[in-house]
Every structure is written in structure tokens, then in C-alpha cells.
Structure 1
């Protein structure tokens, strides 16, 4: 049988794999720089002149055989994983597809390559993308390659050259080969955009992450110089300058509803992903009031680093992940969770403009992170999703560390009381004509008082903005829950008049069936042997569900009554007994044990207890729904007008991902349940904070336990 081969016109190949295959001219030039890097070049020069670009490298060069057997064979590449260059430096080769040479077609219409390989004759290869030819070059004696691109498709002016320099500085991640650019508006070497981290100079915090794929461990190291030494007195036990957090990624991701993977599949993919690392430079620019309020050490770094986070595969970045695309979705994260770092319960997120950095992967070690066919990005498959989430887990550890410090410092601001005496201003306010009679001392005092007024105005304005941001964030979340609740209550109101029909319908149906002499027949063995045809059993189950619906309606209607939100002096035990009776009715397998003195009375709105304990009890039930019996213990004591409360159950306790940091369950959307919303414990914490209380401790090692206070300053 005759074998057939495709025949493709040179100009068509040049268009498809060159002009049409690269998103911009800069990425096409980068492809040619990669070729020089793979050839072991120590230096590559880009020389721009009128209508022409020369790319000159001192690599190993090409000979006639290379041109005929490799260069002209589209899609063929004999490049290995790595080489050693002339300086004995290991290089992981960037190319492998055998199509990068067509990048020249994106840049210009006429190409000439002058190349010489050691112990071989020099050659000249030329093409206009219609006809290609090769000939010997008897004048060339220097090893290396020079590419001359003429009939440039774009004008390379100052702006375009500056874009190229910026692009190459972000996309090249090695110092084994130097890149020089010569142009009428630029003459110099391309340096890396991400400098060595210098705290206080180009960043305020430096974050390093390292993923161990064998053990599924992510290590996050943080170095910080953000806060004054005086902040330490408000942060006992916290190192303000250095922190290392070790996270078990399997425990962190296990049971996540984002991935349809069982335990073995998740472990396998986390292992296959391979080791990788990253480093990030974090900076903010606080204003003067924020510096005083949170004891910041700097007004911001002396040098601003821009460029986002770049993803490098060995020496070069991957297209579309060179820092301009927010591929880690910092913007989306901060929009979903816009809380300020001082927010008492909301999760602060790093903003896009506050962080720059790089993540480094390897061609073989991270082979599951696949290139798209056009080499302009990655296949965003399950491995990519896990990869991104691991990186963001490290970022979240930094966010949690920094926010924890700021929250502790912020406590001092709530305790400080300002006593301002303004006798001179009072005097002038009563009698403005007294200004000329002021003594020199009184004049200076009046000036000082005016400055104090202005400062207080600024502080008040800032505090107002902080409060607005805080409650805007809370309202965003609570509005969603409130809307759901209002819909449910509206339906409950509509059905209120039908409750007698709902509760009595089943009995009426049974009575009717008896009157029609059908009931005994329906109870016979032949009519009850199959569950889906067992009418008496179906009616009985339906009756049970109707009773639950009626209870739900009663709860909905009672808990949204206005008097629930009015502060009154309540007997704490009575409120808890009421909550206990409500849950005991629907969940016979749950027993709530109350240890509270009947003489404890407290000024509070009833909804505070309902919100806190309904969410705690619901969490206990949902986490232990496979148990036959669950015991819940609630203990309350009153000391110096502060309620001290303890809640615990004998269930399975917290998931293993929270073993090292149980307080993490208080964060927004933090959940391990497949259909959980992750708001229950956040609502508990938020409600306790609004009641001037604080969660003191959470323990999930032997059942679940939380201790907290209500009331106080």
C-alpha cells in the first residue's frame, strides 16, 4: 500500500505556526531567545536598526545537517531535558515541540541565518516564507548563530522597545545567559523584575512557600518588618518578624466540594503534581492615621515592585502567566471577602496591587501541568486547580498571620479613652471678642487645641470609614441569609391558615378509606410487601413530615417577632430551656445538658442566644448525623457582669485540617462538609463580638468544645 504524506506550503506553515500562533511580537522574540538559551549561549544580543532586527548568540550553532534534518523538519526536536553550558551550569531546555523557529514569521517577512558549529562549515539559510535555501558561508569563522530579520511587520519605536524590555525582565528567570538590547532609545542588559527581598526597602513582608508532594506538606515561611517594636506588648506570644506554618494539604483539601475525588484519588494527584516553590513580596502604603493606630513601622517600601506574580517553568515564564493576568485571582478573592485587616471577624485578603512574586515549576517534576497546544498557556485541568489552591493556601496563612497581629494591636484603640480639655476654646466660643485679650500662653494653647480638633476630625473620619467597611462586609453576607429567611417566613405566613388542613389531612384520608372499607385491604400483607406500595406506611411517614413542617413554620414565625431583638433582663436558664425544648422536639437522639443557675439574669436581646446556640447545635448535629446518640453540654457562669459560657459535645470533633489551628473555623466560608456554606461559626463569632464578647478557646480533639464570654468592655 502506498504511503501518503501531507504537503503544506511554506507560507501556510509560517502563517499558522508563526504569525497566527503568538499573541504578540514580544512572545515571538522570547521564543528566539529560548532557542539561544537551549543552544548554550552565554550572551544574546538583540540589535534593532531601521527595518531590521539582528539576534546574535554565542551558542553551539548549526551546521548543514542540522538545517536539513532538524530545522526543516517541522515538529521534530531532539532536545533533551537539560545540558551543561560552557560555564558548567545546568540548563533545563525550554523547547521541545520543534515549532518555535516559526516565531520569526511573526516578526518579519525575510529571514537570513548565519551559523557555525564547531568542527563544521559555516552555513547561510535564507527564506522569504515562499522559498527556503541553504549555502556555505566561507567567511564566517565564529561559533554561534546570527539571525537577521528584515521587512519587519511592526515599527519598533521607544514605547515598543520599553515594552519588550519589561516583558523580557518578567519572562526570563536565570542568570546563565545575559540578554543585551541595542536600540536608538535603549542600550543595556535585561535584568530580572523581581529583586532580592529587602524588608523595608522593596517590601514589608517576604513570603516563601515550598510544596513537598511526597508528604503533601506545604511550608510557608514569613519574614516581616511591618510593625514597630512597641507593638509586641499587644501581641504576647506572637513573633512579629518571623513565622513558619506547616500545612498538611491532604487534610486541608480532603472532603472539599470543589473536587469530585475520593481520598486515594486526591492523594495520587497531590503526589503526581510534584514539588514546587514560590516567593512573594508584600507591601502596603498606610496613611499617617493608620500608622499611629496600628503601629506600622513604614509609610510603605522605598521601592515599589510591580508586575504581579509570574509562573516560571525553569528559566522562562509560561505565556499568559507572566504577571499581567491575575491567574491567582487575588482580585476575585478580595471582592468576595473585602474585609479590612482590622475587621474582628471577616477574612482580610491580599489585593492585586499589594503583592508581586514568582512561582517556579519544573518541566519533568511538574509534567502534569500541561502546555496548551499553542504554547500560550496551561491546560487548566484538575492538577492546575490543585496547584493554584496550594499556592493560595500559603497566601492565606500569611493573611491569617498578619490579620491576627493587626486585630491584637487594634484592641488598644478600643481601650484608649481621650480626655480633651479645651478651656481656651470654650472661652472664645462664649465670647469671640475675647480673642485680642488672650495671653501668649493662651494663644499657644488655643492653637494646640485647634490642631487637636483637626486631628480628632481625621481620626473620626477614618474610624467612620472603617466602621462602614466593616458593616458593609457583614451586611453583604447577612443580607443573603436574611433574604433566604424572609422567603421562608413568607411561605410560613401563607401556610399559617392552612396548618389545620396540613395537620388533619392524613387522619381525614385514613377515616375516608375506612368508610369506603378499603383500609383493611390496604393493610393486608399483599398490599404492604413493597415499600413504595405500602399506603398505610406512606401515610404515616407523610404525617411525620407534616408535623415537622408545622414545627418549622412555628419556629420561623416566632423567631422573627420584633420583641426577640429588644434588649431586656432575661433569665438565662429560661432562654436556654426554650432553645433546648425546640431542638429536643425534632431530634430525639440529641440530649442537651444545661448547667446554669436559675438566678442568673442578664440584660440582653433574646436573639443573641438563639443565633449562637442554634448555630452551635446545628453544627454538632450536622457533623455527627451518623451517630445514634449525641450529648451536648452547656455551662454558664456570671462573674463581674460578664457571662462565661462553655459549649461542648461528645461527637467526632473537628476535622483533621483544623488540628493545628482550630480558630480557623471562625473564618468566612470555612467548611469541610460537602454542601456546607461555611457561615455558621462565622455568625457565632460575629454575634459574640457584637455582644461585646470573645471566643477564648476552641478544642476539637475529643469531641468539640468552645468557651466564650458575653458582655464586658
Structure 2
């Protein structure tokens, strides 16, 4: 029987090196963590010759660029290099949890192969405190890259280990000598390190270490040196610079008021202690049993950021909260990337928010961290009971302990148990803390202004309403079984402040109402409004007292409110009684005035004709008188013609009858108009009735054809409309036609035509046209003046067309001059009468 064993092929180097750690930033972070574990107080990350001067393809084949990681930790001896550093997967940190007052970061034994990820060559310089010389080890990683050679093992590649003097060290590295420490010189870099790439690395280094968790007594500084970019850096803002000390961005607390929850599982794992804070005020402290048996010594800090908080965060840190990330995970003080990076949803918050955007918080609304410290009492072979960092350094293994920490479905893990309380508080308690300004870019710009102060903040809801609801939902958001609850303490200062806010609001309301009462005479309605406001405040106080309490403070306030309500109610009753008496007196006076007015109207109807003069005559009366004059004039002309015929003994029976009938018609018409003017029969003649205007015009023009001889004026009606009903006064429409025909007669017309049609809105269009002399040239360019009172186109009074326009307006009609020679050669007018039934 033959004995066999595993062999380590040379390709193992790539598997645990450049192929395992695929992120350059993570590779640098691993090397920096090694400097931290070595007890160094500072590490320099130096970039040299990284700006390419050749094409990218040639650059990646061969270049002289370097990344140098230099620390002043404990250094290594020949034994350490040969038996530890070159011993793959060995790490003394697996057994040694702390050293130099720090919790050690690494324990895999493969982080050193990050050097392979970064460059093709590595030179190590190291020195311990008790040694005079430096040790140098040079590695060409390409020596391991012999594929398909089954017999070539990783240990077949040998290196020379040299001791060099301090002078030689300084000459080769341009780095000053030190008592102890290690320098990793990685050369012929595999990637181009641009300004932005180094800046991205700086962002990762800013969040690498949690100072609140990892240090006991000493600090650790990270310094970036990239001299080639110093000129370019001058144009950048402070937060965009890459050279210099890396400022740790893991905050112990935010320097502004914010809504947050902090929770921790005690060292013994028995209890969870949670504290919820809102705008700097503690709301409650909760102590409950810990149901997560694998979790001990775990903490979480979660901050909800409203638009103001996001702007303050940028003001404090120099970067936007969304670019900073969300919830990071720290194990033994070191952040586990990519958890918490922008776009990483390791806790499933974004997936969950997609199910209800108004009910759930996402990674854009919260920032924070989870802090985990190794449990020393857990056996190393219990794989499910410890947090295991993936060898590629991209997260941790999803085992049972991770599930107890981060499970996002019922039964929830520790994080979601705490996070959901904050979430319910934000959604139900403070209603997302909505701000009045919806333009968030404008809001951020205002906050970043150095002259900004918190008093300028404007929220949708006032502080009192918000805080009362906060108090009312506290018990709902805790959501813990009664058997698990150890203690719940509501912050009494918060309650006291709430009582004071309520008191100040009611005091202000009382003061405002008192001042308004003292400064003016109030109506019963105004007093009722004040009483309603006070009763509303009283009801609000009762509700407040039932929910929150308030002791003597609210009792005194309630007494003041009720006294004021009683006083105002009494004032209101007295005022209403007085106003009722005044109303009776006013009604009696109005009735007497009405009686006298009616008597006066009756007397006026009897004497109107005698009292009327042109000076106090109405515009309607003036229009009617104009028609009387025209009618009388026509009667006179006809009578004169008949008289002349008799004198000359030239009387024809038919002509005489026609002239007499015209005189009779005009006399009756003048009588009707006279009755209107004297108002003796005004109401009867003015009555409106439903009239088919088309039929009326047919009959009316037939009458005119009878009055006038054929050789005088011929009247024609041309209609495309069968009927057009309108509620109007027949007298009004008669007088309108009379006035227009009178004007045609004066213009020596021999033919008058009325054309009827409907427009697209079913309004009646009436074209009145004649073959007379037309409108005088001086009026053609400004024809509107002919409708003004007193403007005449002949030798008349200037009343006719003005009366026509006003009369048409009463029947929802209008008139305009179209021009001369439009239809017949004389003047043409367009009348539009609305189809509206009135």
C-alpha cells in the first residue's frame, strides 16, 4: 500500500492571490490592516511613477510604477519571514486575538497575496527593534505563472533573503531609517492608478477602521503620498484632495440633531438594550431578553436622515450621505467591504422598500453601522457559530450566526428587530419628518451656507403635533412580547417638554384672543369663532391630559380656558339680545319706508308726463321720442302729399287710400310710443313674449311694402332660417327695424334687403343692407362712433343708432357696421342675436 499526500501546484499562488482578491482597493486595505496588526501607529501609502507616459497596452506589459506600504510596526525576523510570512495560510492571529491594545484584524493567512493583485514584483524591507540591519526579500510573481506543468510546485520557487545596512535601505527606497517596521514595495503595477482611482481608495480607507471599537490606547494614522498629482490637486476642494492624512469618517455621533436608534447585546448575551432618540432627545430606553443565542457583544447605530439631516451630513463630512453608503458591518473594528458601500444592499433594505415605498425605509434614508466583536468562548471548529470573512474579503459567510444578525424576514434577525422600530417611528410617529421645501437641491444649498442656522428649518408639521403623536405611538413600535420585556423607560424630560409645549400653545391662544377682544367691537359670529377656538383648545387639552397627563399644569390651564369660554358665552348672549332688538326696530322702519315709496311711485305714475323734461329723461325715453319724431314726420309728409293732390285736383283713389292708411299706421305707432314715454301703459307694452323673429320680420316687411309705393322703397327678406324663437319685446324689435329703415330712407335708398342665417353656435345673424348713399366717408374708418349718442350721419338728432344698439343689448344682441357696397351698394349692418333663451 502506497502513501500519498496533497501537493501544492505553483498555480495556487494566483488562486489565492490576484484571482482571489479581485478588487484593488480591498488589496490595499488588507495590507494596511497588516500594518495595524503589527502595532504601527502610522502607515504611509505611497504612489510613484503611476502616470503613464506610454500607451496602456505597453504600460500593462512593463512599467516602473510603484505602490509602497510603509509602517513602523514590530517588523519581522528571518524566522518570521521563512516560517510565517512564506507559510501559506498560516496566521498566528488565529490564536492571538489582541496585541498592542488592539483587536487584531486578520486571521486567514492569505492577505499577503494582495501584493500579487497589485503588481508583478514585490520587495519586502523589514527590521525589528533589536536588529541593526534590514532584511530584504524580492519576489517575482511571474515565476509562479507556469501553467500546465504538473510537476512544478509552489515551493519549487526559491528566493534570496538578504541582510542590508540602513544606508543601503535608504538608498534603495528613499525612505528614512526606522527602529522597527516593514516596507512593501510593489512595482510594475497591473492597473493604472489615476487621480480618481486613488480618491476612491481614500474613500475606502476613511471608513476602514471604527475607532470606537478597535482602539484601547493608541491611534492609527493612514497617510497617502501621491506627489505626481499635487499640481492637479490644487484645483480640488478639500474633500477631493488625495494627499495627506486620511480623515476617519466613522463618526461616533453626528454633530446635528437627528432621529436615531442605538442598540447593543450585552457581553454575556442575556439582554438587548435599545435607546431611541429624536432630534437629540431621548424618547425611550428598552431592556429586553436576547433571543439570539449566538450573538453577544454586538452593537448597532442607525440614523434616519430627513432632507435637512442629509444636508447637515454633507456639511459635517464633506460628502453626500448617499455617496457615503448606508449600513456598514465592522468585525473587530474593521469594516467588511463591500457592505455599506453605495449601491450595496447586503441587508435587503432596497428590495424590501420596493414592496412599499411609503411604508419602508431604504438605504438612501439611513446610515449607520453594526459592530461585532469575536466571542472568545466559542470553539474554533463550530463553523456556524462564528462570523467568517470570505477569503476574497468581499463579505462574510452566510451561516447561522449571520442569519441571526441580518435575517430580513420573520422571525427577524437582530438588525431588523432594531431597524423596524426606527422605521415604524419614522413612518407612524414623525410622518417621515417631512419638510416644507420640496426642492431638496435648493434646501441643501441654503444649509451649506455658513450663515445658516437651525432656527430656519421649516417642517410640514408643527413641533407640538409631531411630539404628541410620537408619544402616542411609542408602545406600538416596541413590538416585544410581555414575557421578554425587562424594562421600558419613557424619558421624563421629553414628557415635561411636551407638557410645556402644550401649555405655551394654549397660553398664546388665550393671549391672542384676549388682545383681539380688547381691541375691537365684536359681532356674535366673531365671538362664536373665539368660543369655538377655545373649546377646541379645551378638547385638545382633555385629550392631552388623558394620553400624557400634566398634573397641576394642565388642570390650571383647563380652568383658565373654561372661565374664558364662560365669559365670552355671556358676552355673546348679551350682544345677540341687543342685536335682536335693533333688528326689530330696523324691520319696522324698512316696512314704513316701503309703504311711503309705493305711494310715491303711484303719484309719479300719474304725473310723469307733466314732470318729465329732456334734462331728467331716461335714455330709453329719448330713444322712444326719436321714434315718435320719425313717425310724426312720415305722417306729416304723407298728409302733405295728400293735401297737395287735392289742391291740384289730382287725387287718385288708390293713392289716397294708401297715403291715408300710412297716416293711420304711423298715428297708432306714435300713440303707442307716447304711452310708453308717459308710462301710462309702460308695463303692458314692455312685456316680453316668445317671438319667432323670422316670421315676425316676414310680416313686418310685408306691412312696409304696403306703406311704400313700388317706386319709393322695395323691401326684401332673404332667409335661410326656418324659425328662431326668442323671448323679446315686439315693440323693441319693431323700433329697431323702424330706425334702420328710416336711415335707409334718408339715404335715398330704393331697395332694402334683410338676410337671415345662423352661425355655427346657432345664433341668428341678420344682415341689413340698402342701395342708398351709404355711410359718409369720414365715418368709414372709425364706424363705431356712429353708435354714440349725439352722433348723426344725416341731419338727425344722433339718437337712432345709439338706441338700436342699447335695445339690442337688452335682448342679448349686438350690431356693427360692415361697410358700404358689401351686399347692395349702400350701407350694410350686421345684427347678431344670441340663441340663449331669455
**Class of the TM-score when normalised by the shorter of the 2 chains:** 0.3 to 0.5
Q: Using structure 1 for the length normalisation, give the TM-score.
A: 0.47
TM-score by length of structure 2 reads 0.40
